Amino acid sequence: MTIRVLLADDQALLRATFRILIDSVEDMTVIGEAADGQEAVDLTATHRPDVVLMDIRMPNLDGVAATAAICSRADLSDTHILVLTTFENDENVAKALRAGASGFLGKGVSPEVLLSGIRTVAAGEALLSPGATRSLITRFLASPDTDGLLALPEAVKALTDREREVMTLAAHGRSNTEIAEHLVLSPLTVRSHIQRAMTKLDARDRAQLVVAAYQSGLVKPRPDNGV
C-alpha cells in the first residue's frame, strides 16, 4: 500500500526537498503541499492523507492549532500527524502531542530516519524518541496543566490491571515486542491490550496513550534521569 503524505511547511524549498525524497521511494507519494496551517487543515479534509508532515511554526494557523483541528475531527481519524521541529524540546511540541500528533522529529534528521518515521506513524504507532520525549514529558506533559487532559485518574481506574501494566510499559518507551517479552505474552496480545486501553481512554493513538499515562499520574517522571 502506498503511503499518501501531505507536506505542511511555510518554506517552499524545504517542501520541495521533502517531496523529492518521499517521491523517490516506492511505498510513498506526496499528494499535496500546504504553506500554512489553515491550508494544511483544508487539504487534509479534501485529500485524506495517511500522514501529514506538520511544521510547528507557520503563518495564519500554526502547526499546533492545525494539528488540533485535524485530530478533533472523527472523519479524519485515519490521518496521522508527524510534527517537524527545529527545537525538539519546544513546548509547542508537547502541545501538539496533547492535541493528537503521533510523534515528532527534528528537521535535521537523516533522510532514512524521516522515511522510517513516516512509515511508523502511518502504521498507527507512536514516534517518540526516548531522549527528547523524556525531557519533553518531564517539563511539559506532566505539568499541572489540565488543558487537553486526556485521562483523569478515575478513567485509568476503569482499565484492567493488565491494561494498566501494558500502558505503563508503553509509557516507558517499550515496544510491543519488548512488552511481550517482559510480561511473557504474545505481541498480538499486547497489541490487543494497547488497543483496549486506547478505546477506554479515548486516545487517538499510542502517542496519546503515553501522554495519558503521565497526565493521569499512572506514570511519574523522574526529572533527574528522565522517565
pLDDT digit string, tens, across residues 47-71: 999 999 999 989 889 999 999 999 9
pLDDT at 100: 85
Query: What average pLDDT is seen over the chain?
Result: 84
Please answer whether residues 83 and 105 qualify as being in contact, where contact means their C-beta atoms are separated by less than 8 angstroms. Answer: yes
Q: What is the pLDDT of residues 161-218, one digit of tens each?
A: 999 999 988 887 787 888 999 999 998 999 899 989 988 888 877 777 877 887 777 8
Alpha-carbon separation of residue 168 from 85, 139, 152, 187 (angstroms): 27, 19, 15, 16
Structure confidence at residue 152 as a pLDDT band (50, 70, 90): low
pLDDT at 138: 57
Q: E-assigned strands of the chain?
A: 3-8, 28-34, 51-55, 80-85, 103-106
Of the listed ranges 6-10, 16-20, 163-167, 213-217, the least confidently predicted one is: 213-217
> Which residues make beta-bridge pairs with 226?
222
Higher local confidence (pLDDT), 179 or 150: 179
Please provide residue 94's backbone torsions phi and psi, each rounded to the nearest 5 degrees: -60, -40
Structure confidence at residue 225 as a pLDDT band (50, 70, 90): very low
Report, as an integer, the average pLDDT of 74-87.
89
d(CA 218, CA 213) in angstroms, rounded, equals 5
Please provide residue 52's backbone torsions phi and psi, each rounded to the nearest 5 degrees: -110, 120
Please answer whether residues 159 and 200 qualify as being in contact, where contact means their C-beta atoms are separated by less than 8 angstroms. Answer: yes
Higher local confidence (pLDDT), 220 or 113: 113
